A and B are shown apart, each in its own frame.
Chain A
């Protein structure tokens, strides 16, 4: 059952009825039926606004956006969770941003450094403790390339001057020390944390090698930004770019490093996957170093081929020919995957609710498998993301911005999708409702999903989830309406 725009609007009205009037009015602005002819979203949907009191939102905090998302995957950096121990400990190693290297030598992503604030630090300030901690990290892990100070809520509240500590410590230890003002209470979601982290990279890291020209660049140098190497995503993207003759000189920030980031200025083109979390630095790279950025999409063969062509168009004919050759080489393998899984997945209806990019980017991969997206929404997208979404979604599909858990559950009850793609907070609710579910933040401990190699895994995972025999056994045998169970018993 595909709904048209009126039916979707009707559904939204019915779900909103439960709310008190003022809340309902506010929430109505975040929900809509898709109209692919729309160009601009600011007239029809409100995004990036504070969640209302009393509802359950799926959003995180600015610290999560800065420390977890943007800075977390940089491998040669020690990220200090500055403040009480919990924020860092509970978010540690949960994101599966893969790296190469050896823990404690050239990889520090798997560790939790924290200043472990106690009452006395809140009362008397934590600057001294921070300076001591930075010196300690430098002694214990001398190969750390940089140290970042990721502020948790109390730092902003007590007004510590982490910038001053960072400047002084940087001199003392002779390394980059980056203060990141990402206190959790800033902004409405983790999205501000992305922005703050981008700005700290711009202000404290990026220009580090501006007067060092020893790097030998080629006309085919590119950078990957906004790929966090979840389950190896950046690697399965990188091999394709290398196969068409480009050289990837930097990864932001999955499996990335500080020297890579500082040599990014030699790139000829900046390939931007997650627009939401890294458009800020991409715009800056374009303005300061004249590196144009290109948004691309490596989910599913259709989008991959289109993106490879788009990327190749920036370069000479050899690259263009290479791109065609690479696409042609992979096509039969992709066709085989589709031939295998499409019959099992054809016509299945999917609802997505993820961060700020995937609900629009991954649609192509589902459509390659003959599946249909009937609803999509973002936790923390802004209006420029919705501008980019309308064209990707089918007419009449339900769009929900920062959906509350009540709304999401009500929509699912009514629309009865065959698959939901969302996060860990939603997963078990929908499992209990008997609906197949995939985590689309962490790829549900699988992945990679980017690139041609990723599509094979994606297709298998979707089939494995939807066609799992367990979904037929959601009801206790004695409660089954059919007589099949009774006959067996008799």
Chain B
């Protein structure tokens, strides 16, 4: 269950940052991306996948969340 920070970069892409590892990766697919629920399965550019308990609404970014490695 790593702690990660989600933020939008200047180009508007969603960035996934694993705090502990100083590792930044672009999110290529997000299961629920609003409006409505936001979260679910996250696919990163390097192929790895994580699960984020969906929020009811699109949250305000940046935001630190806990995710599960899939």
Contact = CB atoms under 8 A, between A and B. Distances in A.
Interface of A: 40, 42, 48, 283, 286-287, 382-384, 387
Contacts of A283: 5, 7, 17, 62
Given A283-B5, A283-B17, A384-B24, A42 B63 contact: no
Contacts of A42: 23, 46
B64 interface: yes
Contact of A384 (B5, B7, B22, B46): B22
Interface in B8-63: 17, 22-25, 45-46, 62-63
A40 to B, nearest CB: 7
Given A283-B17, A287-B62, A382 B22 contact: yes
B37 to A, nearest CB: 22
B23 A287 contact: no
Interface residues of B, number: 12
A383 B22 contact: yes
A387 B26 CA distance: 12
Sorted nearest first, the 5 A-B pairs with minimum C-beta distance are: A382-B22, A287-B62, A384-B24, A286-B62, A384-B22
A287 B4 CA distance: 12
16 contacts: A40-B45, A40-B46, A42-B23, A283-B5, A283-B17, A283-B62, A286-B62, A287-B5, A287-B62, A287-B63, A287-B64, A382-B22, A383-B22, A384-B22, A384-B23, A384-B24
Contacts of A40: 25, 45-46
Contacts of B45: 40
A252 to B, nearest CB: 19
Contact of A387 (B5, B7, B24): B24
Contacts of A286: 7, 62
Nearest to A294: B10
Contacts of B23: 42, 383-384
Contacts of B5: 283, 287
A193 to B, nearest CB: 14
A302 B25 CA distance: 29
A382 B7 CA distance: 20
B49 to A, nearest CB: 16
B44 to A, nearest CB: 10
Contacts of B22: 48, 382-384
Contacts of B63: 287
A387 B17 CA distance: 14
Contacts of A387: 24
B52 to A, nearest CB: 16
Given A287-B63, A384-B22, 11 more contacts: A40-B45, A283-B17, A283-B62, A286-B62, A287-B7, A287-B64, A382-B22, A383-B22, A384-B23, A384-B24, A387-B24
